[in-house]
């Protein structure tokens, strides 16, 4: 027997360890293109979680969380900022904003925050309007009353959506 001779048990162990290592590496490659992890570092979070996992390419469905990139809401958030919000309305849904309240299909969904309105230097009636979401449009809201979301900036395009998100902590 040489100095590098292995027993049957050691060879089986090394084979299994090698297979697990290769599978782990291939899984990491697969997931690196499909999953993102994010952290919400705001002083007052818009959702109950601070850590999120996003599955890239998963469809945006009503009442589920989505991760998307901001477009056109600067200077509050620069273009490209990754945001996680809840889908409150989809194409074909009727949106009405009146007296500081947002309604989706005549169901009250959110109130405007006096603090957010003050920070934006606008009154609630500046947002009063009614419209129907078009193809590829989503209305997204945070769960917190002070969330900066679609009630202030309007619908987002489904092309901005990176994928479905889950709060994990």
pLDDT digits (tens, 9 = 90+) for 85-106: 999 999 999 999 999 999 999 9
| Domains of the chain, CATH where assigned | 1-33 (no CATH), 35-167 (2.10.109.10)
Nearest-angstrom CA–CA distance, 25 and 128: 53
Average pLDDT of the chain is 92
Which pTM does this prediction carry?
A: 0.83
What are the mean pLDDT values of the chain's consecutive 10-residue runs (169 residues total)?
80 89 76 86 91 93 97 92 97 98 98 94 97 98 95 97 95
Check: CB of residue 148 under 8 Å from CB of residue 112.
Answer: no
């Amino acid at each position: 027997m040489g100095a590098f001779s292995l027993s049957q048990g050691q060879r089986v162990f090394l084979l299994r360890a090698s297979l697990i290592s290769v599978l782990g590496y291939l899984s990491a490659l697969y997931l690196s293109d499909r999953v993102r992890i994010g952290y919400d570092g705001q002083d007052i979070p818009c959702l109950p979680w601070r850590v999120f996992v996003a599955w890239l390419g998963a469809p945006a469905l009503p009442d589920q969380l989505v991760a998307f990139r901001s477009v056109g809401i600067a200077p509050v958030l620069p273009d490209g900022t990754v945001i996680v919000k809840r889908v409150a309305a989809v194409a074909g849904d009727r949106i009405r904003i009146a007296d500081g309240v947002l309604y989706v299909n005549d169901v009250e969904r959110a109130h405007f925050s006096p603090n957010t309105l003050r920070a934006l230097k606008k009154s609630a009636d500046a947002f009063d309007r009614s419209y129907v979401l078009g193809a590829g449009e989503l209305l997204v809201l945070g769960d917190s009353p002070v969330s900066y979301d679609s009630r202030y900036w309007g619908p987002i395009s489904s092309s901005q959506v990176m994928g479905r998100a889950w709060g994990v902590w």
